[in-house]
Amino acid sequence: MNIASSTNHAVRPVKRRTLWKTMYQQRCLMLMSIPFLIWIFIFEFGPMFGWLMAFVQYDPNKGILGSQWAGLRYFKMFFQDPDIWLILRNTVMISFLYILSSNVFPLILALMISEVGDGYFKRALQTVTYLPHFVSFVVVANIFLTLFGMRGPVNELLRGLGWTDRPVLFWQDKNIFWYMVTFVRSWKEIGWGAIIYLAAIASVDQEMYEAAKIDGCGRFRAMWHITIPSILPTITLLWVLNMAGIFNAGFDASYLLGNAMTREASQVIDTYVYELGISMGMYSFSTAVNLLQTAVGFAFVFITNTIARKLTDYSLW
């Protein structure tokens, strides 16, 4: 007994002393990392815990764990809300149009830019097309609401050309709202989206183009048979990543560009969650909606990735 305990003592303190010693030696690194680990626990993991709110009848005074269990009640409520199909339709349509345009237009732009020789024109073009990405959506909304406003230059032009005699109400028409939003967002991000494609195109082996030229291959055919297949991995990757956003139509566009007259077409999950959750205090319900949105996003990435892997051999994982 005595011996056993003494050997125990003999081993343990040494181990502990090494840990203490390491800790002492690395105290500076601890000082430089532990505050940030705490920050991660609070601000990255804290909200993950908050998802539980969707399953309880949340009472701010009792906290999440003290509140009464509600199970899937709020999820059922969501599907019983008569507005929900409208909101889901808007969300999916707005994000689908944007995913489509944010994959196609930047690719076309990148193909066009890469056909221009290096020089002043190319640099100027890149400079002006990237700029809107850095401007806030508030500014962009402000500009486009004015440009396409009743008295804006677009309406003036249309009237000047004699195409209409009455101003076109671009922002008051719920039938074209989705396309207007897609147009504004595409304008803002087209240049930025082209950067990755441009980099991919630049890394294509130039000898292939030389060989194609000797074989009498035109530029469109070179694009179709060399450029596109070479950058297919990049195209696939961006497409899969973008699919995560299928249930995420973006708060900014709907909130800033929508109005009472287009509400039927502009309300999306994000604005719905904001209105119910923060303005009206329906915490549990809006968290449930939010959780569904996130889960569907994950599912879509998974599905597109599987399809991409089957069809093209390229995938995210």
Residues of span 91-120 touching other proteins by CB under 8 A: 109, 112-113, 115-116
Lookup result for tokens 């193909």: 111
Provide the minimum distance between the beta carbon of 305 and other proteins in the complex, in angstroms, as a whole number.
Answer: 13
In this chain, which of 46, 66, 71, 229 binds other proteins, going by CB under 8 A?
A: 46
Closest among 101, 103, 100, 111 to 228, alpha carbons compared: 111
275, 47 Cβ separation under 8 angstroms: no
Report how far residue 272's alpha carbon sits from residue 81's, in angstroms, rounded to the nearest whole number. Answer: 12
Closest among 231, 238, 233 to 311, alpha carbons compared: 233
In this chain, which of 16, 40, 104, 229 binds other proteins, going by CB under 8 A?
A: 40
287, 47 Cβ separation under 8 angstroms: no
Of 9 and 17, nearer to other proteins (C-beta) is: 17
Provide the minimum distance between the beta carbon of 90 and other proteins in the complex, in angstroms, as a whole number.
Answer: 18
| Interface of this chain with other proteins, residues 220 to 249, rule: CB under 8 A | none
Provide the minimum distance between the beta carbon of 6 and other proteins in the complex, in angstroms, as a whole number.
Answer: 28
Of 9 and 124, nearer to other proteins (C-beta) is: 124
Of 9 and 202, nearer to other proteins (C-beta) is: 202
Mark the segment that binds other proteins (CB under 8 A) among 8-16, 17-25, 91-99, 301-309: 17-25
* H or E element, residue 59: strand 56-59
Of 37 and 303, nearer to other proteins (C-beta) is: 37
| Interface of this chain with other proteins, residues 257 to 316, rule: CB under 8 A | 259-260, 270, 273-274, 277-278, 283, 286-287, 290-291, 293-294, 316
Provide the minimum distance between the beta carbon of 122 and other proteins in the complex, in angstroms, as a whole number.
Answer: 9
110, 197 Cβ separation under 8 angstroms: yes
Report how far residue 91's alpha carbon sits from residue 68's, in angstroms, rounded to the nearest whole number. Answer: 31
Name the region of 162 (left: φ>0; alpha: ψ -120 to 50; beta: rest): left
Q: Which residues pair with 63 in a beta bridge?
A: 59
Strands 56-59 and 67-69: antiparallel
Report how far residue 272's alpha carbon sits from residue 263's, in angstroms, rounded to the nearest whole number. Answer: 11
Provide the minimum distance between the beta carbon of 171 and other proteins in the complex, in angstroms, as a whole number.
Answer: 8
Report how far residue 127's alpha carbon sits from residue 273's, in angstroms, rounded to the nearest whole number. Answer: 37
Gap between the terminal Cα atoms of the chain: 57
| Interface of this chain with other proteins, residues 148 to 207, rule: CB under 8 A | 150-151, 153, 156, 171, 187, 191, 195-196, 199
Of 3 and 134, nearer to other proteins (C-beta) is: 134
Of 22 and 164, nearer to other proteins (C-beta) is: 22
Provide the minimum distance between the beta carbon of 175 and other proteins in the complex, in angstroms, as a whole number.
Answer: 19
Verify binding: residue 79, other proteins, rule CB under 8 A. no
Of 10 and 295, nearer to other proteins (C-beta) is: 295
DSSP-derived 3-state class of residue 68: strand
